[in-house]
Amino acid sequence: MDMPLSSTPQPPAVTVRRGDTLVSLVTSHYRSQGVTLDGRQAFLMALQVAKGNAIADPSRLQPGQSVRLDGLPQPGELAAGARPAAAPAPVAWSTAQVLASRQSQPVLERTLSRAVERGFIPPQEREAVRERVERMAHEYGFDPDDFARVALIESDGLNPSASNGRCHGIIQFCGGAGRGAASVGYAANPQQIRKMSVLQQLDLVDTYFEDVGLPRGGRVSLDELYLAVLTPAARAQRAAAAPLPIAGTQARILYEGGQREAGITRRSITQGLHRHAQEQLADTPNPAPAPAPVVARAGAGGGNWPSGRQLIAANSLERR
């Protein structure tokens, strides 16, 4: 992304014209200062503008509406790495590194395979989704496999169109004041979230985690991660076996002993999510183990190249 500094003063507000969107307004705002945003940056900036202007439904702007942009970072701040920062360029991993990563995160990898098979994620976006989950996991300190366990119970494993009528998307953003959809700018029309891809919804998840105060740089356990999604206020109860103040009826597997009258605890959440993931992924194969080191062979051209059979097998595994 080009980041030249500009001293050109920018208007504190713009007037919406027919056909404008928040993304187009943000993109034009920075383009006029010589800055080109990528798609993800523009999307995150648009969410920031929606929140700063109290726009309940970012997908519906009215011609003549005034939108303030003065809360956006200056180009120089973006260049210095202010959030939302440009995503780092993906690193070209070797086949062995990819397979080793898959082996160390079997729940996430099997969930991704299942999501591709069910049409939740386009095959060409699988690696981008995995990288996005891993990056978010690193920032907040949770296990990528734990995020997959949460997605499996909330949306059948990263189904962007999942809905119970009130809550929508991969972690079930609920409508209503102070609920998940409101925290990411979709209070008035949370159903719009269902129209987004998994990659776009992962950006909403990141915004939501920040809004509910999920700590960064520490260690977030599975029960803590799920409570941040289900009922953030319940995180105040730290005891593993104490009943949690969770409203409504939840999946039976989350309750102590599977009995709804017994209540939900941090312990039962952890046990239930592990069991649910095992059941949901029972028919999805485990990731293949990392291949053994390749030894140079005489007549192979002097390099550590795998045989034709090994290349075919590796490429097949990468497409799973």
| DSSP tag of 66 | E
What architecture (CATH level 2) is domain 13-79? Roll (3.10)
d(CA 68, CA 303): 59
Distances (CA, A) of 264 to 78, 107, 139, 244: 43, 23, 28, 6
d(CA 299, CA 63): 71
d(CA 173, CA 193): 8
Residue 55 structure tokens: 């726009």
pTM above 0.75, yes or no: no
In the chain, where the domains are located:
13-79, 95-280
CB 146 within 8 A of CB 222: yes
In this structure, the dihedral spanned by the alpha carbons of residues 239, 243, 245 and 246, taken in order and rounded to 10 degrees, is 110
Residue 178 structure tokens: 């102070």
Note down pLDDT in tens along the chain; length 320 residues: 343 444 445 557 888 887 677 878 888 888 888 888 776 777 778 888 888 888 876 667 788 889 998 888 887 776 544 344 333 444 444 555 445 555 578 999 999 999 999 999 999 999 999 999 999 999 899 999 999 999 999 999 999 999 999 999 999 999 988 889 988 999 889 999 999 999 999 999 999 998 999 988 789 999 999 999 999 999 999 999 999 999 999 999 999 999 999 999 999 999 999 999 999 999 988 765 544 433 333 433 333 333 332 322 333 332 22
Which residue carries 């007549």 as its tokens?
Answer: 299
Of the candidates 223, 217, 186, the residue with the CA atom closest to the CA atom of residue 201: 186
